[in-house]
Amino acid sequence: MDLTLDLSRYERALRAQGFTHVAGVDEVGRGALAGPLVAAAVILPLDFDLDGIRDSKQLTAAQRERAYERIVVSGRWVVRRIEPAVLDARGLHRSNLALLRRCVKALDPCPDYVLTDGFPVRGMPCPSLGVKKGDAVAASIAAASIVAKVTRDREMRRLHKRYPAYGFAENKGYGTSTHWAALDELGPSPVHRLSFSGVGQAALPGFARSAMAALAGDRVTQDGDRVGTQEGRQAAVEPDGPREASESGMRAWGA
């Protein structure tokens, strides 16, 4: 099977039904203990070469950088971010949904259809479809995951220069053993997510912060998905939309 052609099957099927501008949207950093939540929306041109485009987690850092440069030169794209303080105030899940909507609404032209990774997102400005493992099976979602991942990784390297003790350049804000150890020793930095279990609370005698997070029922997968009671507490109601810093790129279609 031609995996490149297979990756574009959702976009091809939608275009065959008359949806000209098909966007993919994805976020990065849901499960991180520190740093922003970053999302991207991408519309790829019809003639875009999908070689090297796949789920960002399946690429090396160098491969992601190369793919990123090709996407931002040839495609239409938008990046949005939400800072930790806003995540703490508004909640992770509802902030995430609002962030995905903001990305899609900022695209120019507005897409005719949008593909989201995993779960459906209400309130999109156009028809949408949640695609299971979308960043691995749909080209536009994979492209969005790459743009979001590269953007966030660059930001975490910048934050590492300000807060080197936490190892952000290596862990990208996720809960590695060395990151938890730094939290136990130093406490949280201004860019940590204080609402996350074990981060904002002082450690109990005899318990490291990582142990407190485990007792609360939270854990972070290698894919960056946070599961457990923390997610349940934060998934209550969708907001109108959080305050957010933004970066967007609207480039001409490639030749």
Check if the beta carbon of residue 25 is closer than 8 Å to that of residue 141.
yes
Q: Is residue 82 part of a domain?
A: yes
Q: Are residues 147 and 207 in the same domain?
A: no
Q: Is residue 243 part of a domain?
A: no
Q: Are residues 139 and 25 in the same domain?
A: yes
Give me the half-sphere count of Cα atoms (radius 13 Å) on the Cβ side of residue 91: 17
Q: What is the pTM of this model?
A: 0.82
For 73-87, the pLDDT digits (tens) are 999 999 999 999 999
Of 141, 157, 173, the one marking the end of a domain is: 157
For 190-242, the pLDDT digits (tens) are 999 999 988 987 665 656 666 655 544 444 443 444 433 333 333 322 333 33
Q: Which residue shows structure tokens 């809960």?
A: 175
Query: Residue 119: phi, psi to the nearest 5?
Result: -125, 150
Q: Are residues 203 and 103 in the same domain?
A: no
Range of the domain at 222: 158-234
Check if the beta carbon of residue 56 is closer than 8 Å to that of residue 63.
no
Q: Are residues 172 and 145 in the same domain?
A: no
Of 136, 157, 178, the one marking the end of a domain is: 157
Q: Are residues 173 and 51 in the same domain?
A: no
Q: Are residues 173 and 146 in the same domain?
A: no
Domain count, the chain: 2
Q: Is residue 241 part of a domain?
A: no
Report the pLDDT value the prediction gives residue 182, as an integer from 0 to 100. 95
Q: Is residue 255 part of a domain?
A: no
Q: Are residues 150 and 28 in the same domain?
A: yes
Report the pLDDT value the prediction gives residue 63, as an integer from 0 to 100. 96
Report the pLDDT value the prediction gives residue 153, as an integer from 0 to 100. 98
Q: Which two tokens stand for residue 99?
A: 């962030």
Q: Is residue 196 part of a domain?
A: yes
- CATH assignment at residue 104: 3.30.420.10
**How many CB atoms are closer than 10 A to CB 201?**
15
Cis check: omega of the bond before 109, within 30 degrees of 0? yes
Q: Is residue 240 part of a domain?
A: no
What is the per-residue DSSP string for the chain?
A: --HHHHHTHHHHHHHHTT---EEEEEEE-TT-SBS-EEEEEEE--TT---TT-S-GGGS-HHHHHHHHHHHHHHSEEEEEEE-HHHHHHH-HHHHHHHHHHHHHHH-SSPPSEEEEESS--TT-SS-EEEETTHHHH-HHHHHHHHHHHHHHHHHHHHHHHHSGGG-HHHHTT---HHHHHHHHHH---TTB-TTSTTTSSPPPTT--HHHHHHHTT-EE-TTS-EESHHHHHH-S---S----EEEEEE-PPP-
Report the pLDDT value the prediction gives residue 219, as an integer from 0 to 100. 47
Of 122, 141, 157, the one marking the end of a domain is: 157
Q: Are residues 151 and 162 in the same domain?
A: no
Q: Is residue 49 part of a domain?
A: yes
Q: Are residues 45 and 132 in the same domain?
A: yes
Q: Please list the pLDDT of the chain residue by residue as tens digits (255 residues).
A: 444 448 999 999 999 999 999 999 999 999 999 999 999 999 999 999 999 998 888 899 999 999 999 999 999 999 999 999 999 999 999 999 999 999 999 999 999 999 999 989 999 999 999 999 999 999 999 999 999 999 999 999 999 999 999 999 999 999 999 999 999 999 999 999 999 988 987 665 656 666 655 544 444 443 444 433 333 333 322 333 333 334 444 333 222
Q: Are residues 166 and 150 in the same domain?
A: no
Q: Which residue type, as a one-letter code, is found at position 40?
A: A
